[in-house]
Amino acid sequence: MKLTRRKLEIVSTAAKLFRKKGYNSVSMRDLAQALDIKAASLYNHISSKQEILAIIILEVAENFTEHINTVFPESINSVEKLESVIENHIQITVEKTDALACLNNDWMHLEQSDLESYLVMRNAYEAKMRSIIEQGIQQKQLQDRNVDLVLFSLLSTLRTLHLWYSKNKETSPQLMFEEMKQNLLHGIIR
């Protein structure tokens, strides 16, 4: 099924609802009501509830994948690569808040090939991030620490930044970027 204008409205409304209550707590009747139509009418545009979830999540996942794939091979140092990753996370947080929240909360409700696609992308993303960190340690730009825990410390904050942003929408991406760069890379101690 093609992605028409109306279908995009349905998907983005779904993302908003999924974010608030979770995929399994939003019924097709809930979604229809939010669009002021009947549940059955949704099926003129989409083939299943699952399809909606897959569209929402895979699009964001592809955004992340594309970015890491361009940054990873660049001839800049590890810290600069990490800064670029932070910037990208903030941009997606700001521009696709709802979809990002869905990805974080409901990816495990994807099924079959969509779930597999997502996991492949996520694993590849983390592998490249780990590799950037390892390089940074080797080149003495980063402290010599447990790589997996460094990776987790970074990603856990970046992935859930939408929780903060949704309560602070007036904050400029630029300020978020500067502050998060400091917090994540330089720590908080004076």
Partner DNA sequence: ATTTTAAACTAACAATCGTTAGTTTTGTTA
Partner DNA sequence: TAACAAAACTAACGATTGTTAGTTTAAAAT
- Neighbour-count burial of 66, counting CB atoms closer than 10 A to its CB (0-12 exposed, 13-18 middle, 19+ buried): exposed
Binding of DNA by 29 (CB under 7 A) = yes
116 binding partner (options DNA, its own copies, none; Cβ < 5 to 8 Å by kind): none
Binding of its own copies by 77 (CB under 8 A) = no
Binding of its own copies by 79 (CB under 8 A) = yes
Binding-residue total with DNA (CB under 7 A): 23
29 binding partner (options its own copies, DNA, none; Cβ < 5 to 8 Å by kind): DNA
Q: Which is nearer to DNA, 108 or 188 (CB)?
A: 108
In whole angstroms, what is the distance from residue 10 CA to residue 60 CA?
A: 17
CB 34 within 8 A of CB 52: no
In whole angstroms, what is the distance from residue 90 CA to residue 149 CA?
A: 21
Q: Which is nearer to DNA, 5 or 186 (CB)?
A: 5
Binding of its own copies by 30 (CB under 8 A) = no
Binding of its own copies by 105 (CB under 8 A) = yes
| DSSP-derived secondary structure letter, 40 | G
Q: What does 80-109 look like in DSSP terms, one character per residue? A: HHHHHHHHHHHHHHHHSHHHHHHHHHHGGG
In whole angstroms, what is the distance from residue 117 CA to residue 125 CA?
A: 12
* Token reading at 122: 């996520």
- Neighbour-count burial of 145, counting CB atoms closer than 10 A to its CB (0-12 exposed, 13-18 middle, 19+ buried): exposed
In whole angstroms, what is the distance from residue 4 CA to residue 156 CA?
A: 34
- The minimum distance between CB 71 and its own copies, in angstroms, equals 17
Q: Which is nearer to its own copies, 2 or 140 (CB)?
A: 140
148 binding partner (options DNA, its own copies, none; Cβ < 5 to 8 Å by kind): its own copies
Binding of DNA by 164 (CB under 7 A) = no
Binding of DNA by 6 (CB under 7 A) = yes
Q: Which residues bind its own copies (CB under 8 A)?
A: 20-22, 24-25, 79, 105, 108-109, 133, 140-143, 145-146, 148-150, 152-154, 156-157, 160-161, 163-164, 168, 175-176, 179-180, 182-190
